[in-house]
Amino acid sequence: MAELMPDSGSTATTAHPLVCGVRVLDKRFWTLTTEVGPAVQALDAETQGIVVRGSDWVSKLKTIRGFRPDLPVMVEPPSCDMHVATVKSPLWVPIDEGGDLGLFEDDPCALYVQAQRDLGVSLAVAPTGQIAAQDWATLKALVDAVNALAGPLLVPLVVSPGWLSEVTLLRQLIAAARRMSHPVALGLIDGNGDPLERKGVATGYRRFFEQVTGAVPWRADLSGLGAVAAGAPGLVIGQLPSQRRFTEAGRPGHASNPKDKTPAVLLADLARYSRAGFMHTDWFAHTDPIQCSLRCCQGRALDRFSHRAEDVQAALAHNHVVLSRLARDCFSRAPEDRMEWFKQYLQNATVEHLRLGDRIGKPVSEPGMFRRWREAFAAGVPTSSVSLGV
């Protein structure tokens, strides 16, 4: 990753917006959520933060500020979910939100950013829309629009996975992200599942974070650790499956099994989430279930969680403890050692899948992203920076 250099002669107050933004993100694991309930109390203000989303973000921010004034906090603008960016409107604030915040005058996007700051966010987030596949003209318009906004600021870059898997598009995406005055947050759109399972996306993901200084993964899942290994200073992981990727604006999301309402449980050794109900009926109908020895579960089984609210909260608490440990483990390594750490983590998880298969008497297929990351590991570090032919 390139060195972060403040402008010559800068001080803490006049440092480049990119430097100011990265300071907030650095070595921090952020949880993206619509909930501001009990889970917020468990967050560690030194190493973690919260990203709130939803149309009632103003009241959520005030709630968090009321009982956790120490906690770093950001907002995900509704534009990331709801708006397809165009050349004319790469940024967007919904009309009702504009009304609530009194933003009908002047430049509503600049005022929307200021409204976040007035409510005490740690880093304001630009209201960017989704960039459709190959829409280079809109991507360029987005660069100009966000560079006109005063920093420090985080810029969500929500794109279809094709931007990462096709080498010409990847070069354009990296070039655009590097032209931005602010750190970017890369989010991927996939209505059907994990976008990192698509061919070439993990390799492009690795390249992007190696070459875009200060960029962080947004609405990531465990692949966010791969982004950190490639150079991202921090990571934002969604609390629920639907918050670990984006759905195309205007399209409904897809649930892998809509009948199973039990929570998705993070299994540390297997480097995957699995629904408790699925584990209970499919994996552990005739054998002892996986247990969790951490303080969150105190030796109890990980397939115990039902769809009831208290069980869902308990599963989310477990997931957070596991993620915290993984993030801490990754950040504790020297930057040049993190990719090897992530590679080893997934290799061990592959072995654990084989062991689990032996134990329950049938093969357990590993998540598709494992194979894609193996391809990304094999791609290695580029000998020189990607030629930015734009």
Binding site for Zn ion (CB under 5 A): 292, 294, 296-297, 318
Token pair recorded at residue 328: 């801490």
Which of 139, 268 has the CB closer to Zn ion?
268
- Nearer CB in complex with Zn ion: 43/176: 43
| 304 vs 318 by CB, closer to Zn ion | 318
DSSP codes, 30-88: EEEES--SHHHHT--TTTEEEEE-STTHHHHHHHHHHH-TTS-EEE--THHHH-B--SS
Whole-angstrom distance, CA of residue 277 vs CA of residue 235: 29
Residue whose CB is less far from Zn ion, 176 or 276:
276
- Which residue, among 146, 164, 165, has the nearest Cα to 156 in the 3D structure? 146
Tally the C-alpha atoms within 13 A of residue 68's C-alpha that lie toward its C-beta: 23
The SS3 of residue 304 is: coil
**Least Å from the CB of residue 319 to Zn ion:** 8
Smallest distance, Å, CB 29 to Zn ion?
Answer: 17
Q: Output the smallest distance, CB 295 to Zn ion, in A.
A: 8
Interacting residues of 191 by C-beta distance below 8 A, sequence separation 6+: 247, 248, 251, 252, 253, 254
Q: What is the DSSP string of 273-293?
A: EEEHHHIIIIISSSSPPPB--
| Least distance to Zn ion, CB of residue 325, Å | 10
Q: Closer to Zn ion at the Cβ: 164 or 315?
A: 315
- Write down the least CB distance from residue 311 to Zn ion, Å: 13
Q: Could you tell me the smallest distance in angstroms from the CB atom of residue 12 to Zn ion? A: 40
**What single letter denotes the amino acid at residue 97?**
E
> Which residue, 219 or 318, has its beta carbon nearer to Zn ion?
318
Which residue type does 70 have? D
Determine the 3-state secondary structure of 29 from DSSP: strand
CB 231 within 8 A of CB 210: yes
Min dist. Cβ of residue 245 to Zn ion (A):
24
Question: Could you tell me where the DSSP H helices lie in 131-247?
Answer: 136-147, 162-165, 167-179, 201-211, 223-230
Helices then strands, counting H and E runs in the chain, come out as 15, 11
If the CB atoms of residues 254 and 308 are measured against Zn ion, the closer one turns out to be: 308
- From the CB of 328, what's the least distance to Zn ion, in Å? 16
| Shortest separation between residue 298's beta carbon and Zn ion, angstroms | 8
b/e for 158-173, b at 16 or more Cβ within 10 A? bbbbbbbbbeebbbbb
Using CA atoms, how far apart are residues 25 and 387, in angstroms rounded to an integer? 28
